[in-house]
Each structure stands twice: as structure tokens, then as C-alpha cells.
């Protein structure tokens, strides 16, 4: 037996803290006596030394094995925490959230002030209109199109009649978003009308009539109608487009939920937006 291999074996035993077997002493004695070593000593090699490996079960949490020995590195490869896997975005859900946000902004920007219990823009515009010396002629530009109320169903056209149903197509929802965005662009125009009418408010006058106020009234009316007439025409067109879309969504919901009457009712958007009354 090669002395170098014998020394190597001793070193391995020292590292692994394995007690020296009895045959090693015999091996040295046989060497010095020039006798052949036992057969079992010559067949021993480092490959015969085995260290038990921990059993890893795929899918166990990090650091946990079947025999109680941790092996974090291997488990990180095999274990997937599905609670943290990001789900793909739902385009229809995102469109619905966009619709609710736009609807509230448009409603409070064009129709009602503050919340569902506040005054209406139409009533305020009418008061300012009369306070500026203008008279009602029931012509286009007097913004009757803004006269919408929650509890007067005969006037529930346009966005106030908008309903959403379960499982509507993304195409229908996208069309709703586009029309609401068109309404949204008209909010600054209504704010300009507020400014014109407030600036044109007449002061208290004497018994001899308006006198020199006629020129001021004429100027206020001209400024007002230059914005209000096209604004009302556009809003009437948006209302008509919205009414047609509401019919189309209703028909689609009837087909989708032909065997589930509970889902065919839908829910008005204002009921979702003002679910808590504000």
C-alpha cells in the first residue's frame, strides 16, 4: 500500500472526525514486516465515505425539508409562492373604474354641485342669468339640457340613465369612456359662463328703469350666447349618443344573461358612485 494514500486517509479521518479503524494499525505493521495487507484495506477508498443528503420535497416552503435539515438555496428554486404572483390586469375592470371616475367628475362639473345632495348648476345658472338682466326666451343657449335630477325620471337622459352590467364587452365600455371624456371637456366652458354672468350682474336700480343698463345687458347676452349655444348643442349630441349606447348595452346584457334574470337588471352608475350618499 502506498504510504501517501495511507496518510491521505488519516487526514480525511481527522477532518471528518472519524476514529481510526483497527485495520490501519495492522496495515502499518504488515508494511514493516513486508507482509501483504489485508484484502479489505486495499479495497477501501474515499468513495466509500458517504454523507447523507437531506431529502428535498418540491413545493415546501423555503428552508423546510422532510428530514428537518434546511436547504434554503435548493428550495428557493423549487418553491413558488403563488400569493405574490402578479395577476394580469383585467382591461374591463380598469375601464369600469375609469367610467366611475369620469362619471363623478362630469356630474359634479356640469350638473350638480359638491355631492348628490347639493344644488344644481342649472338652477344657479338660471339665477345668474336673470340677475344679469337677461330674460327667458326658451331658445337654445339657456342650457335646459343641464336640467337633470336624480328623482325626476322623465329627465333621466344622458349620463344619468347610464347603467353597467356584468360581463359587458370592452368595446362597449370603451365607447362609454369616450363619450364621458367628451362631456369632461365641456366643464371649463360652463365655468366661463359662470364668470360672464357674475361679471354682468346688475346693480340695484332706481324706479326709472334700467336706463344705461341696456348696453351692459346686450354685451353680457352676446358673450354668454357665444359660448352657451354651441355648448348646449354639443351636450344634446352627447346625450343622444349616450342614450343609444345605453340601449346597446342593455341588449347585450339581455343576451349574455338570458338564463340569469338577476344579472339582467344592471346598476345605475350614480348608485355606485354615490353609494354612501356623497
Distance CA 153, CA 160 (A): 9
Q: d(Cα 249, Cα 172) in Å, to the nearest integer? A: 7
Q: What are 214-226's pLDDT values in tens digits?
A: 888 899 999 999 9
For the ranges 32-41, 50-59, 125-134, the lowest mean pLDDT is seen at: 32-41
Q: How many CB atoms within 10 Å of residue 52? A: 7
C-alpha cell at 21: 479503524
pLDDT surpassing 90 at residue 51: no
Mean pLDDT of the chain: 76
187's CB contacts (< 8 A; 6+ apart) are: 105, 106, 109, 110
Average pLDDT (4-31) is 50
Residue range 180-196: mean pLDDT, rounded = 97
Joined grid coordinates for residue 255: 343576451
Q: What is the C-alpha separation between 14 and 49, in angstroms, rounded?
A: 13
Say if strands 267-268 and 163-164 run parallel, antiparallel, or are unpaired.
antiparallel
Which residues, 6 or more positions from 81, have their beta carbon under 8 angstroms from its beta carbon? none
pLDDT recorded at residue 115: 84
Least confident of 41-55, 61-75, 163-177, 197-211: 61-75
Element (H, E) at 267: strand 267-268
CA dist 60 and 98 (Å) reads 41
| Distance of alpha carbon 67 from alpha carbon 55, whole angstroms | 6
For residues 229 and 140, is the Cβ–Cβ distance under 8 A?
yes
* pLDDT for the residue numbered 187: 97
Question: Exposed, middle or buried by CB within 10 Å (0-12, 13-18, 19+), for 229?
Answer: middle
Q: Which pLDDT belongs to residue 77?
A: 47
pLDDT of residue 211: 59
Give the DSSP H/E element, type plus range, for residue 96. Answer: helix 91-106
Quickly tell me which residue has 468513495 as its cell.
47
When pLDDT is averaged across residues 244-264 and rounded to a whole number, the result is 88
User: What are the backbone angles phi and psi of residue 20, rounded to the nearest 5°?
Assistant: -70, 125
Cell output for 242 = 349616450
- Which one, of 108, 189, 210, 183, lies nearest residue 141 by Cα? 189
Percent of the chain with pLDDT over 70: 61
Amino acid at each position: 500500500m502506498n504510504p501517501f494514500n495511507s496518510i491521505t486517509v488519516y487526514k480525511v479521518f481527522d477532518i471528518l472526525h472519524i476514529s481510526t479503524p483497527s485495520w490501519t494499525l495492522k496495515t502499518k505493521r504488515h508494511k514493516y514486516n513486508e507482509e501483504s495487507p489485508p484484502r479489505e484495506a486495499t479495497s477501501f477508498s474515499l468513495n466509500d465515505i458517504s454523507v447523507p443528503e437531506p431529502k428535498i420535497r418540491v413545493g415546501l416552503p423555503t428552508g423546510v425539508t422532510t428530514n428537518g435539515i434546511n436547504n434554503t438555496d435548493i428550495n428557493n428554486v423549487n418553491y413558488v409562492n403563488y400569493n405574490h404572483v402578479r395577476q394580469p390586469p383585467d382591461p374591463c375592470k380598469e375601464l369600469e373604474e375609469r367610467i366611475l371616475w369620469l362619471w363623478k367628475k362630469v356630474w359634479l362639473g356640469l350638473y350638480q354641485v359638491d355631492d348628490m345632495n347639493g344644488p344644481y348648476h342649472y338652477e344657479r345658472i338660471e339665477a345668474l342669468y336673470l340677475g344679469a338682466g337677461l330674460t327667458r326666451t326658451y331658445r337654445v343657449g339657456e342650457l335646459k339640457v343641464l336640467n337633470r335630477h336624480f328623482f325626476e325620471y322623465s329627465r333621466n337622459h344622458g349620463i344619468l340613465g347610464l347603467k353597467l352590467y356584468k360581463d359587458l364587452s370592452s368595446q362597449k365600455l370603451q365607447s362609454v369612456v369616450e363619450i364621458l371624456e367628451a362631456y369632461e371637456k365641456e366643464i371649463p366652458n360652463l365655468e366661463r359662463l359662470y364668470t360672464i354672468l357674475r361679471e354682468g350682474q346688475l346693480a340695484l336700480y332706481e324706479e326709472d328703469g334700467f336706463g344705461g343698463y341696456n348696453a351692459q345687458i346686450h354685451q353680457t347676452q352676446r358673450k354668454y350666447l357665444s359660448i352657451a349655444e354651441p355648448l348646449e348643442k354639443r351636450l344634446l349630441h352627447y346625450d343622444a349618443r349616450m342614450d343609444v349606447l345605453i340601449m346597446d348595452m342593455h341588449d347585450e346584457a339581455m343576451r349574455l344573461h338570458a338564463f340569469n334574470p338577476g344579472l339582467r337588471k344592471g346598476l345605475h352608475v350614480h348608485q355606485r358612485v354615490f353609494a354612501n350618499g356623497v
